[in-house]
Amino acid sequence: MADALLSILNTFLGTCCANTQTLDIGRHTYRVSQQLGEGGFSTVYLVADTERGSQFAMKKIYCHTPDMFAKAQQEIAAYRRFRHRNIIRTVYMVLPLYKENLFDVTEHSRASGMCWPEDKIIAYLHNYGKHQGRPGLQAEQESGGDSERLLDTAAEAGGENPQQKPSRRGGYAPVGNADDAEPTVPNGPVASYAHRDIKLANVMLADDMTPILMDFGSLAPARFRAETRTDALRIQDDAAENCSLPYRAPELFDVQRGAEFDERTDVWSLGCLLFALAFNRTPFEDPLDPDSPYSARLMQLIDFMMEPDPQKRPFIDQVIAMTRSLYQR
């Protein structure tokens, strides 16, 4: 399966550069309609199944060096590693189509001079008991079949493809679980990972406004230590390349030998995201408006998550407890 994914990736890299933007994946042909977005190392296109018209987002990853190709492989592996209702799923390298992300929402709010209600902001941070079982890895793994069969299912669902039917918001319902059924994580201890690039633009919104975390190209083990000065410089350079500046934890800016890192680098980024949802801008763009419309408890939560000292910053379980308290009051 891994070889097939890499073959698809190579085919896509070549095909999307052509003027005639069509490509074959399995038994399906897709036409590239338009560019949806672009990052430093990838471009995302809107594509449609030429037979059924079902729509997907397709990511083109630029692999100019062996290291970049290895990183693309790592991203593919990351998508297969995690199963959760709030994490994006894949069909080969074809992603469910979402029409908006949190950055779009805050831009609309900024333009209209509006502020989100506090309970709505808090609602984006946690499911509040909606899912059962093991959180994080494979929390919502479905039985499914192989990717080829699921592509067929997506294209033949009762004559009215779930991707074809527009919602009232103008988007499309995401296609079902489209990963193969191979177990990706053993039933042992859950490994600890950091996303490392949590930001508004990496949280897509499904048509029911469910937040969907995407872009696992920066994923890495959460816990590590800078044993040497060389390690420290490498960690700092890696953060500069992979962690967006407005959301980057302060301990990643000037890394010293002996520094230790854990999941709380992502908690800082999540605090920045929460601030941006509340004020329609990232924390350090402008001085804070003294007339904040939000409760002291919400502002304390943001301050708690954005504690500059990583050893005093909360772990995610503490953040969940605080958000649950805010959400249920």
**Binding site: which residues?**
59
How many Cβ atoms sit within 10 Å of the Cβ of residue 20? 8
- What residue spans of the chain are helical by DSSP H? 2-15, 66-81, 102-112, 118-123, 147-155, 229-242, 264-279, 296-305, 316-328
Q: Is 128 helix (H, G, I), strand (E, B) or coil?
A: coil
- List strand residue ranges (DSSP E) for 130-263, in order: 193-194, 203-205, 211-213, 220-221, 224-225, 260-261
How many Cβ atoms sit within 10 Å of the Cβ of residue 47? 27
Q: Is 2 helix (H, G, I), strand (E, B) or coil?
A: helix
CA distance 196 to 248: 8
Query: What are φ and ψ of residue 66, in 5° steps?
Result: -60, -35
Segment (H or E) for 57: strand 55-61
Binding-site positions for ATP read 59
Q: What is the Cβ-side half-sphere exposure of residue 172, based on CA atoms within 13 angstroms?
A: 21
